[in-house]
Structure 1
């Protein structure tokens, strides 16, 4: 709103009251080969080329019958390091979530615990990330999109949160690039591309590295899990900047469209954020959360560290469920880390627009929300429909409508 008021009168626009979320199903609706099955094909077809480019060699394995096989670090880390083979369809079909499924115990046993072993383990984990990043970015860059008239035109009251890396909205729907936020980066900017899981946002515990041995190996897995996490909360901060720069006020959001987005667990934090932004606020919840944060000042830091170490050993080292105390300690630590980063994002944003004066702040008057925004969600098949009903229930939203196709969901924008 402050940004909107800073514009010249000739630049003033009508309030944006509609958010359109674009998922992979949207590009597939447009006939693009953007499924993880397509990525799997690209990976296998280009693996040798990628390894040569990155100067990475495959590892040789000799089977009991004397047969020699060669496999990359990807198959070693995400498969069975003692008996590697092609990764199964489950890995590729759930690619981003699968990046969190590293068997730390088995990896530790395979490489060993001596210093040279840990060095080899670090190299293998690094190579795995480099190979998959190169393959994923190369695949995204290979997707060609032609300009076509789709017969739809979105309104000027819309902004777009695009989970795809493509420029489909611009080429086929005439969407202004300033109204579109590529939440995980764009194909034209390799460095911007983000992919990964959302299960390990906390920074690795440095103490593990100093302990060496099996703990040193556990640290290396802890580190790579952190690096392959999407860090959704950081991206949400950037999303807030995008919305603010477009003059979007949460109180004015009336409709949210979800087109071809699976709303899977790996992206659920984004939808939780949008849900909270577009609902009538409950003050009781705010006060309760505030009280919880104040209580953290009385924590025993040594005990907190011990609990976090136990969490990593249980959750990552042995794939067990950590006890409640350990899980809570890790959650508190992650919240602290995130709070520090959020503060930095706020400072950077204020530098971008300039610190608003008291007069400007006092002039911001937006009517409070009296009803929740309505969600319009496309689905693909009965299973997808059932899943989205579950998600909306979990998010606490009852004001939504499901559509069996994207065409039906956006029919009001048909030319």
Structure 2
């Protein structure tokens, strides 16, 4: 039995406009001010030169890197700058009284910002038209008993390849009425624990300001966390169905840090001897993806075969 792990490159190969650049254009039309805040807040601004880039390949590479890294940036707050009072205007310079309430209000605003971003994401996915796209690979057969894990929000597998929806797990949600809606969040559970520990130590040292700051940041991290362990547990029956998988095809996925725990779970479920066939779009990704599989996921080098786009898609 085969398992297909599908990433955004799969949808892009089918001509769908699902890159960060496309989402950026959507936000630009819907709410330019919100987009500006988003890119400055999380360091996603690509600079004015990107709007006039003549090399489409450079533009695509840069934008897709941003899309891959975006969720990890949700847990990339420089709390030391906040502690020093240099980053945000919170009125903390007047003393430590009310610091925790002030910061909780600030991070509540940030959380509401993420929820608004999530709403825009859902609206954007809903307007992506997949009705006119055609099959681009012969690897996927509706007659097989293969399983699919997709990190995409679209329903290309169900609608275009006629894959039974019960053989598909949408990691980040989808627009299917029986599935969770698309959701944005980070996967750094350790960051929550790290902030809680700093807050605990500060409390023991009677440093009220430091305690309040780190506790408030921990609250924010906790609310924007995608709990991978809980998700895997709630879908344990699907993961148990992967025990007989002997071949894994990873197509269009760029192995962002947020998603690595899912690959760890897959490896643990299927066993060490399963063969991994990994698609890469650009030559520079070939070595990078292989190293991630070996060093971060734990796949044996002997079990990895790299596949170029010509090996996967009908080009």
Q: 1:147 to 1:38 in 2, by over 3 A?
A: closer
1:237 corresponds to: 233
Decide which of 175, 181, 193 is 1:192's aligned counterpart: 181
What residue is the counterpart of 2:303 in the other structure? 399
Equivalent residue, structure 2, for 1:97:
72
Partner of 2:18: 34
2:265 maps to which of 273, 277, 282: 273
Q: What does 1:6-405 correspond to in 2, within 5 Å?
A: 17-47=1-31, 72=37, 74=38, 77-78=41-42, 87-88=45-46, 92-93=66-67, 94-108=69-83, 109=85, 110=88, 111=90, 112=92, 113-115=96-98, 117-150=102-135, 152=138, 153-154=140-141, 155-188=143-176, 192-200=181-189, 202=192, 205=196, 208=199, 212-244=208-240, 248=241, 250=243, 252-280=244-272, 372-394=273-295, 395-397=298-300, 398-405=302-309
The alignment partner of 2:233 has SS state of: helix
Larger Rg: 1
The offset of 1:206, in angstroms, is: 9.8
1:296 aligned partner? none
Matched position secondary structure for 1:173: coil
Change (3 A) 1:148 1:117: closer
CA distance in 2, matches of 1:237, 1:92: 29
The runs of 5 or more residues in structure 1 that have no matched partner are 1-16, 52-70, 80-85, 281-371
Q: 1:40, 1:92 within 8 Å by CA — same for their partners in 2? A: no
Which of 307, 312, 315 aligns to 1:409? It is 312
Where do 5+ consecutive residues of structure 2 fail to align?
Answer: 48-61
Secondary structure, counterpart of 1:160 in structure 2 = strand
How large is the Cα RMSD of the aligned pairs? 3.1
- CA distance, structure 1, for counterparts of residue 232 and residue 216 of structure 2: 27
Answer whether contact 1:183 1:239 (CA < 8 A) is retained.
no
Instruction: Please report the TM-score for the alignment, with normalisation by the length of structure 1.
Output: 0.58
Q: Cα deviation per residue 1:56-89 (whole Å; 9 max; x = unaligned)?
A: xxxxxxxxxxxxxxx75x467536xxxxxx8446
SS at match of 2:135: coil
Question: Paired residues, what number?
Answer: 273
2:58 aligned partner: none
Alpha-carbon distance between aligned partners in 1 of 2:266 and 2:180, rounded to the nearest angstrom: 26
Q: What residue is the counterpart of 1:318 in the other structure?
A: none
Structure 2 SS opposite 1:170: helix
Quickly say closer, same or farther: Cα 1:27–1:249, change in 2 above 3 A.
Answer: closer
Offset from partner CA, 1:107-146 (integer Å, 9 cap, x none): 3523125426335423432332223222222222222211
SS in 2 for 1:192: coil
Q: Work out the CA distance in 1 between the residues paired with 2:156 and 2:170.
A: 11
Contact 2:198 2:211 in 1 (8 A): no
